[in-house]
């Protein structure tokens, strides 16, 4: 059981029970791990099959999947309302579960996984306002596919929206312009997709912005690139639906504005000191700041989402080795550590909350296959 006690500053309390979820993107059988969560402490992993198989981005020098972050993405799982979604990258499907607020670690699959309408789905997002879930496929058939939820059923919402990234294979190869993330803006007026650039050629990666008009997602996106942002990876909205914190593992991150014509402009770029690879981004509604998460070192960069200023680059805990997919609730950042553990760290107090070792936990696969992180209730 998670450690119980009185809530502390920055620790959410009351209301529904809480849970964390991450995907096990295993080619031998994919699953979701749910963790009980209370007062910043996680525990009791429960495994639930996604009724599909995983896959992995291929290593540059071998015919094998990379040894960590096998989807090269942010958002492999998503929670919205009482729904949990997970991608099955090897079987090209999307799984949907219903979450019981009194027992959120045992999500129940609704029907069977649905065809993702493309190859190698890597990231998923849900808008409660639109009642719509969208997935981005990052393989040879790369596109965005969306469904409305009607009486618990997924009903296709328009034809798949092609991204026309002709260089991608199934599965794709590391550092070859892999697809990073898909996410609705908080006001559900934009659907945003980030894609990494081509490292060898020095070609900046595009960001696709699908306008949402009268609750309908456009079939055609606006494609934007910024010369100094080579590898758009994870991003996070703050309270403003027209600005994002966009990570780039080659230097740190940028505050990027989506203007009314849905093009993209960069306001400020920040280079993190001692950077290894800033791949993920998250936002705290308590501190009102955004955070860049380094995949190669136990450190985070803190960015003021209003002014765009880089406030700090701070260390977390050496036991994490580094941090990957992350989500912030209150001032508590949860993330998949590079070690086989799930970490939690108070970004307001700059203090360790927990390092939950899952190396020998029942039902938990090898660290290689962990991907994505989501929380119930959704944040």
* Residues present in the chain in total: 379
* pLDDT, position 262: 67
Find the mean pLDDT for residues 104-119.
Answer: 98
* pLDDT, position 10: 46
In tens, the pLDDT along 164-211 reads: 999 999 999 987 799 999 999 999 999 999 999 998 899 999 999 999
Confidence tier at 5 by pLDDT (50, 70, 90): very low
3, 88 contact by CB (below 8 A): no
Bridge partner residues of 272 (DSSP): none
Query: If you average pLDDT over every residue of the chain, what do you get?
Result: 92
Q: Is the sign of the CA dihedral 172, 174, 178, 181 positive or negative?
A: positive
* pLDDT, position 369: 98
* pLDDT, position 23: 98
* pLDDT, position 11: 45
Give every strand in the sheet of 278-283, ordered side by side: 278-283, 289-294, 299-304, 310-315
Helix (H, G, I), strand (E, B) or coil at 320: helix
What's the half-sphere exposure (Cβ side, CA atoms, 13 Å) at 220?
Answer: 0
What lies within 8 Å, CB to CB, of 10 at 6+ separation is 40, 286, 330, 331, 332, 346, 348, 349
Find the mean pLDDT for residues 204-224.
Answer: 95
35, 334 contact by CB (below 8 A): no
Question: Which is more confident, 9 or 223?
Answer: 223
In tens, the pLDDT along 243-293 reads: 999 999 999 999 999 876 767 787 778 787 777 899 999 999 999 999 999
pLDDT at 1 over 70: no
Find the mean pLDDT for residues 77-82.
Answer: 97
CB-based burial label for 112 (10 Å; 0-12, 13-18, 19+): exposed
In tens, the pLDDT along 319-368 reads: 999 999 999 999 999 999 999 999 999 999 999 999 999 999 999 999 99
* pLDDT, position 92: 98
Nearest to 220, CA basis, from 207, 235, 209: 209
pLDDT at 75 over 90: yes
* pLDDT, position 176: 79
Confidence tier at 32 by pLDDT (50, 70, 90): very high
What lies within 8 Å, CB to CB, of 301 at 6+ separation is 252, 253, 270, 272, 278, 291, 292, 294, 310, 312, 313
> In angstroms, rounded to a whole number, what is the distance separating the alpha carbons of residues 348 and 38?
18
> In angstroms, rounded to a whole number, what is the distance separating the alpha carbons of residues 110 and 178?
30
pLDDT at 3 over 70: no
Q: Is the sign of the CA dihedral 251, 329, 240, 148 positive or negative?
A: positive
In tens, the pLDDT along 293-311 reads: 999 999 999 999 988 889 9
Confidence tier at 73 by pLDDT (50, 70, 90): very high
Over pLDDT 70: what percentage of the chain?
96
* pLDDT, position 273: 72
272, 301 contact by CB (below 8 A): yes
194, 232 contact by CB (below 8 A): yes
The two tokens of residue 268 are 């400020």
Q: Is the sign of the CA dihedral 294, 239, 327, 220 positive or negative?
A: negative
> In angstroms, rounded to a whole number, what is the distance separating the alpha carbons of residues 236 and 113?
27
* pLDDT, position 265: 80
What lies within 8 Å, CB to CB, of 79 at 6+ separation is 21, 85, 99, 126, 374, 375, 376, 377, 378
């Amino acid at each position: 059981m998670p450690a119980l006690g009185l809530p502390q500053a920055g620790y959410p309390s009351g209301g529904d029970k809480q849970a964390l979820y991450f995907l096990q993107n295993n080619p031998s059988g994919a699953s979701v791990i749910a963790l009980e969560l209370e007062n910043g402490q996680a525990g009791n992993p429960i495994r639930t099959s996604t009724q599909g198989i995983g896959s992995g981005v291929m290593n540059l020098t071998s015919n094998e999947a990379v040894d960590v972050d096998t989807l090269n993405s942010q958002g492999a799982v998503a929670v919205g309302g009482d729904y949990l979604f997970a991608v099955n990258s090897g079987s090209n499907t999307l799984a949907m579960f219903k979450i019981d607020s009194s027992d959120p670690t045992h999500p129940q699959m609704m029907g069977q996984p649905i065809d993702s309408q493309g190859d190698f789905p890597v990231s998923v997002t849900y808008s409660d306002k639109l009642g719509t879930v969208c997935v981005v496929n990052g393989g040879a058939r790369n596109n965005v596919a969306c469904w409305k939820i009607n009486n618990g059923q997924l009903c296709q919402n328009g034809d798949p929206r092609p991204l026309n990234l002709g260089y991608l294979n199934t599965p794709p190869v590391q550092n070859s312009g892999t697809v990073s993330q898909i996410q609705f803006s908080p006001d559900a007026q934009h659907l945003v997709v980030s894609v990494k650039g081509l490292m060898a050629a020095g070609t900046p990666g595009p960001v696709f912005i699908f306008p949402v008009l009268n609750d309908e997602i456009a079939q055609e996106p606006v494609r934007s690139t910024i010369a100094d942002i080579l590898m758009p990876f994870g991003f996070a909205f703050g309270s403003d639906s027209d600005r994002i914190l966009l990570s780039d593992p080659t230097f740190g991150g940028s505050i990027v504005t989506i203007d009314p014509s849905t093009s993209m402009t960069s306001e400020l770029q920040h280079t993190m000191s001692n950077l290894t690879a800033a791949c993920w981004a998250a936002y705290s509604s308590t501190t009102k700041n955004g955070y860049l998460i380094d995949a190669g070192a136990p450190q985070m960069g803190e960015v003021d989402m209003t002014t765009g200023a880089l406030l700090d680059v701070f260390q977390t805990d050496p036991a994490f080795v580094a941090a990957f997919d992350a989500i912030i609730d209150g001032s508590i950042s949860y993330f998949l550590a590079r070690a086989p553990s799930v970490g939690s760290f108070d970004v307001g107090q700059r203090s360790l909350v927990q390092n939950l070792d899952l190396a020998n936990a029942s039902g938990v696969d090898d660290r290689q296959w962990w991907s994505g992180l989501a929380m119930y209730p959704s944040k």
